[in-house]
Amino acid sequence: SSSRADSFTESVIREMTRLAIAHKAINLAQGFPDFPCPDELKKAACEAINGDYNQYAITWGAQDLRQAIARKVKGYNGIDADPETEITVTCGSTEAMMASMIALVNPGDEVIVPEPFYENYGPDAVISGAVPRYVPLGNGPLDEEIWKAAFSKKTRAVIINTPNNPTGKVFSRNELQFVADLCAEHDVIAITDEIYEHILYDGHRHVSIGSLAGMEDRTVTINSLSKTYSVTGWRVGYTIADARLTARIRKIHDFLTVGAPAPLQHAAVAALDLPSTYYNELARDYDRRRKILYDGLRKAGFSCQLPDGAYYIFTDIAGFGMTDVAFARHLIESVGVAAVPGSSFCHEGGETKIRFTFSKKEETLREACRRLENLG
């Protein structure tokens, strides 16, 4: 056994999915859709396989996909990226984050992790040898004093996740500019996970920290097809970073995976070519699902709030008189709904929280809400 592997636990999010299956509970734990991906993607994937795109792609990604990503990030994110030297296609954003951390962080370096955070960032830090330094996201604008105090000579990187999993917080341009200024002052890189960039509500707009002046050569922008196109099983993600950072990320990526699935990289080009109406519909559909789950949770006695982005509701459970893990078990075994205990997203204070996803069909959410009415 290795002390590294012993120093973190298996993913609670994935464990909840296995328990949901075992107990026939509705899975509002792991964030993936139970509805199909767009037909255009299915067709493109079949064509790629039938068209013999079945051997390794270039390790850092098929050229046509890197070119399509360059067009997309220029248009949507305001980032200029050279597909030959600044884009790496990875096995999902999970590998993108892990490869970036291994490539760019030295053991003992501090990495600032805003909290609550997506579960993977903890193990990512352990595996790369980084020392996580947690800063609370809070409600409302960032607390500038706390953020300033977290940056020091030891800081190597800051992880940004906007829209945030699990809280749905969408970082404003001003907040990102504030973080960017701290990065410049302390020579820190931003590693930014923007996988929910198209899932925004109530007029919120997505801003990429990598598009801000001075951040070109100190940002790794991470994204994936998983959430935007409802293909979490495809495992196609990517990093955008300047050539110097990308060269290091590509080396790690190559020896970790050789490359992401070649036929699905080919099909991903069709995804990136979808018309802009697709993204409007995506956000509109998630807005409806968001309101169904929100109404159901309020009726069931949760004091939750509507998120600004992403597809989760992270809610307080203090009133139910159980810790998060006991509450999650009760939900699965007695109510028939799976959710994720809050402690998976916090290094402290998560015991009074739980996360539900609404990345499910409206009928699935309605049935889950009916079941939650029995929560006594």
Closest CB to ligand GLN among residues 33, 83: 33
Q: Given CA atoms 361, 287, 225, 235 in this order, what sign does their dihedral have?
A: negative
d(C-alpha 330, C-alpha 333), whole Å: 5
| Binding footprint of ligand GLN, residue count (CB under 6 A) | 6
Closest CB to ligand GLN among residues 147, 327: 327
Closest CB to ligand GLN among residues 13, 112: 13
What's the min distance (Å) between Cβ of 30 and ligand GLN? 4
Interaction with ligand GLN in 84-103: which residues (CB under 6 A)? Answer: none
What's the min distance (Å) between Cβ of 165 and ligand GLN? 5
Angle formed by the axes of helices 243-257 and 92-104, to 10°?
120
Q: Are the beta carbons of 181 and 144 closer than 8 angstroms?
A: no
d(C-alpha 140, C-alpha 112), whole Å: 19
26-27 and 87-90 as β-strands: parallel, antiparallel, unpaired?
Answer: unpaired
14 binds ligand GLN (CB under 6 A): yes
d(C-alpha 117, C-alpha 209), whole Å: 18
309 binds ligand GLN (CB under 6 A): no
Q: Are the beta carbons of 176 and 207 closer than 8 angstroms?
A: yes
337-338 and 131-136 as β-strands: parallel, antiparallel, unpaired?
Answer: unpaired
Q: Name the residue number minimizing CB distance to ligand GLN.
A: 31
The alpha-helical segments, DSSP class H, found in 219-344 are 243-257, 262-272, 276-299, 324-330
d(C-alpha 205, C-alpha 143), whole Å: 21
What's the min distance (Å) between Cβ of 176 and ligand GLN? 21
What's the min distance (Å) between Cβ of 13 and ligand GLN? 5
Interaction with ligand GLN in 150-169: which residues (CB under 6 A)? Answer: 165
The residue from 12, 13, 89, 300 that contacts ligand GLN (CB under 6 A) is 13
Binding mask 109-128 for ligand GLN (x = CB under 6 A): ---------x----------
Binding mask 20-49 for ligand GLN (x = CB under 6 A): ----------xx------------------
Closest CB to ligand GLN among residues 83, 166: 166
Residue 11 CB partners (closer than 8 Å, separation 6+): 119, 120
Binding mask 175-194 for ligand GLN (x = CB under 6 A): --------------------
**Nearest CA among 228, 224, 239, 236 for reference residue 200:** 228
- Residues in touch with ligand GLN (CB under 6 A): 13-14, 30-31, 118, 165
